[in-house]
Amino acid sequence: MFQTIRKNWPLYLIEAWALGTFMVVASLVVIVVEHPDLPVRSAVPSDMLRRAIIGSCMGLTAVGLIYSPWGKLSGAHLNPAVTLAQWRLNRITTTDALFYIVAQFVGGSLGVVLVHTLLPDYIAHPSVNYVATVPGSAGVWVALGCEFLMSFCLLTMVLALSNSKWLSLYTGYFVGVVVALYITVEAPYSGMSINPARTVSSAVSARNWTDIWIYFLGPIAGMSLAGWRYRLRYRRRYGECRSMKMHLSGQRNGCRTYEVLWWTQEATSEPINR
Amino acid sequence: MLIETLVTIFYGYAGLGAIFGIYFVIWGAARIDVDAHHLPILVRLLLWPASVALWPFMLAKVVRNRPDYDLSIPADAHSAEPKTP
């Protein structure tokens, strides 16, 4: 364990940096677009169009982080639900998963704290509200359902693409577009989080923990189900395989933590890892 | 006038993208990678929004790739040695 930490601690910092950057950009973009003292809100009266602007900026940010040199090293999970799903797929060790998740929560929270320190009046304004994600007027269960469904669809798409030899290179771009679309269309129902660390990051500064459980249960359940279904299909197609064929993993994209960690007892004399 | 032109261009881009997206989901993805041929149509539908937005890149990829009709599983697809125990 200590050997893993000593080897991979820079990757944990990268995860913290990545979600921190995402939250800083989210805060700044929402301030610029939604704050009534700035001209964009009055120039663009349509709520949906303003959400499309925010969504496009956040989609581009996600793409930038995923394809950044650092992002490629860590795999740019930015999301504990993604890390847990990858852990369930045995693509990342327990120690790495644990520290990835801690780093994501700390990094994201520090990002919002940074903007709160620099622009306290702007980020605290009710129109920005620390970019907190809270259920919309449709209610808690609709928000939970949306979070679950979005998470399931996103990870299903990511797994399908990242295992395609020729399409895997476009995975990050597809994620960016989908994030933009989700923010544009779904934000009124749940705030569009699909990320427990992203919601907690805002909640820490806003001190608003309203229905926080939704943003843990929905994304984690949705992405876990997507991972489970993926593995089921993979096994059906390839049988009891010794390794998951992940074109996005290993040296292909330079990620240092992704490894093929799972194989069956029948395939080798070694015990199943975990 | 400029705004109207930009909006028209946007709608044209999105309209062409929507048509290409349908092609991509049904045939194009499998043309690029035979593995996509085995994906259920519902999973391939998840690719539609991004293929609409990124259609020029995907179209270039489809044009560059000749269809590969060999759908057999590569011999080494699931036999690689694990890197670490």
**Chain B CB contacts of A166 below 8 Å:** 32-33, 61, 65
Q: Is A117 on the interface with B (CB under 8 A)?
A: no
CB-nearest to A243 from B39, B53, B78 is B78
**Chain A CB contacts of B73 below 8 Å:** 237-238
Q: Is B57–A261 a contact, with Cβ atoms under 8 angstroms apart?
A: no
**Chain B CB contacts of A264 below 8 Å:** none
CA-closest candidate to residue A268, choices B67, B35, B84, B33: B84
d(CA B25, CA A235): 24
The pLDDT-based confidence of A273 (bands split at 50, 70, 90) is very low
The ipTM, to two decimals, is 0.73
The pLDDT-based confidence of A175 (bands split at 50, 70, 90) is very high
B82: pLDDT strictly greater than 70: no
The DSSP secondary structure of B22-34, one letter per residue, reads HHIIIIIHHHH-H
| Mean model confidence pLDDT for chain B | 78
Q: Is B84 on the interface with A (CB under 8 A)?
A: yes
| Mean model confidence pLDDT for chain A | 85
Q: Is A164–B47 a contact, with Cβ atoms under 8 angstroms apart?
A: no
Summarised one tens digit per residue, pLDDT across range A67-76 is 898 888 888 8
Amino acid identity, residue A144?
L
Check if the beta carbon of residue B47 is closer than 8 Å to that of residue B29: yes
Amino acid identity, residue B67?
P
Between B43 and A31, name the one with better pLDDT. A31
d(CA A10, CA A7): 8
Task: Say what the pLDDT of residue A75 is.
Answer: 83
Most confident residue range from A5-14, A190-199, B37-46? A190-199
Task: Say what the pLDDT of residue A274 is.
Answer: 40
> Average pLDDT in the A257-261 region?
48
Summarised one tens digit per residue, pLDDT across range A43-90 is 988 999 999 999 999 999 999 999 898 888 888 889 999 999 888 877
Q: Is B59 on the interface with A (CB under 8 A)?
A: no
The DSSP secondary structure of A129-147, one letter per residue, reads GGG-----TT-HHHHHHHH
H-type helices in chain A, by residue range?
A: 2-34, 39-43, 47-67, 69-74, 80-88, 94-118, 120-124, 140-162, 171-190, 196-206, 214-238
Task: Say what the pLDDT of residue B73 is.
Answer: 47
B83: pLDDT strictly greater than 50: no
